[in-house]
């Protein structure tokens, strides 16, 4: 009986410790968000396949800024998988050393693709 109580206490203690020390993403400051959005607006182009097929949509992306200025996509969502893949690829291939000052911050970005009349 004492062994069960000791094991239960140990497992509960480990659970509480792991929950208390879980790493939460650092939300981006306003300047970090503006820097990422301005940078990505120049880096992400309207894909040719989308203009040929009259595709319009929004891609929502969660981006983590790395120490070297590269960007990692934590998550993305879009109704069109090809557009989502295009945006994720463009973001992950980009590199801007100026963004390194915001390292560790997570930025939420909405990329809007609309056709002009």
Would residue 9 count as lying in a domain? no
0.75 cut: is pTM over it? no
Which pLDDT tens digit goes with each residue over 71-81?
999 999 999 99
User: Rounded to an integer, what distance in angstroms lies between the CA atom of residue 105 and that of residue 90?
Assistant: 19
| Domain assignment of residue 73, given as a range | 24-113
Give the list of residues 6+ apart from residue 37 with CB closer than 8 angstroms, or none.
107, 109
Would residue 66 count as lying in a domain? yes
Which pLDDT tens digit goes with each residue over 22-51?
566 666 788 989 999 999 988 899 899 988
Name the domain count of the chain: 1
Would residue 19 count as lying in a domain? no
């Amino acid at each position: 009986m004492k062994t069960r109580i000791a094991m239960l206490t140990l497992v509960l203690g480990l659970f509480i410790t792991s929950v208390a020390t879980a790493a939460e993403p650092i939300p981006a400051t306003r300047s970090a968000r503006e820097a990422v959005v301005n940078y990505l607006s120049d880096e992400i182009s309207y894909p040719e396949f989308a203009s040929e097929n009259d595709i319009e949509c929004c891609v929502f992306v969660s981006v983590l800024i790395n120490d070297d200025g590269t960007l990692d996509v934590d998550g993305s969502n879009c109704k069109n998988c090809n557009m989502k893949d295009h945006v994720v690829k463009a973001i992950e291939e980009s590199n801007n050393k100026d963004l390194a000052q915001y390292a560790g911050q997570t930025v939420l970005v909405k990329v809007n693709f609309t056709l002009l009349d």
